[in-house]
Amino acid sequence: MWFGKPRKDPASAQAAAQARAVTGRTAEDRALAHLQGQGLRLVQRNYRVARGPSRRGGEIDLILRERDGTLVFVEVRARQGAGHGGAAASVTFAKQRSLVYAAQHYLMRLSAVPPCRFDVVAIDGEALEWLRGAFDAG
C-alpha cells in the first residue's frame, strides 16, 4: 500500500514549470516598464548568486538606479488575485534574507557602495503596486 505523495508526470511538471517561467517573465516585463516610466534606469535583470558556504543563494529580479543614484533592488511578485494576502505578502522573511544576501554579493563587485533600498512590485491580477523601501537589509 502506497502512502506517499502521488508521483507527478514529468512532462506535465515540465510544462507547469515553463508556464510559471513565462508568467514570471511577463510580470517582470510589466514591472520594469512601470519603473522605467517612473524614471528609473535598468542596471541588471535576474542577478543570481549560487549557493555559497552558508548553503543559501539568491536572485534579484531587477536592479535599477534612481535619478539621484540610489541603487534599487526589486523583487517582483505576481498572483492571480489578492487571496492569501496577495503578492506582497508572499515576500517572506526568508525571501528577504535571500534578497539581502544577493544584494550584498552584488555590492561587493562595486568600487563604491551607493545608497540602496529594497522595493517590491506586487501584481495582483491586473493591479500593480510599487512598494518603495518595502524592507531593510538589517
pLDDT of residue 68: 97
pTM over 0.75: yes
Strand pairing partners for 62?
Answer: 45, 74
Distance from C-alpha of 80 to C-alpha of 127, rounded to nearest angstrom? 10
Q: What's the number of CA atoms in the CB half-sphere (13 Å) around residue 95?
A: 18
The answer as to CATH 3.40.1350.10 being correct for domain 10-135 is yes
pLDDT of residue 55: 62
Tell me what pLDDT residue 119 has: 98
Half-sphere exposure of 66 (CA within 13 A, CB side): 15
The pLDDT value recorded for residue 131 is 96
Looking at residue 53, what is its pLDDT?
59
Mean pLDDT by 10 residues, the chain (138 residues): 67 72 85 97 95 73 97 94 77 92 95 97 94 91
Give the pLDDT confidence score for residue 18 in this predicted structure. 72
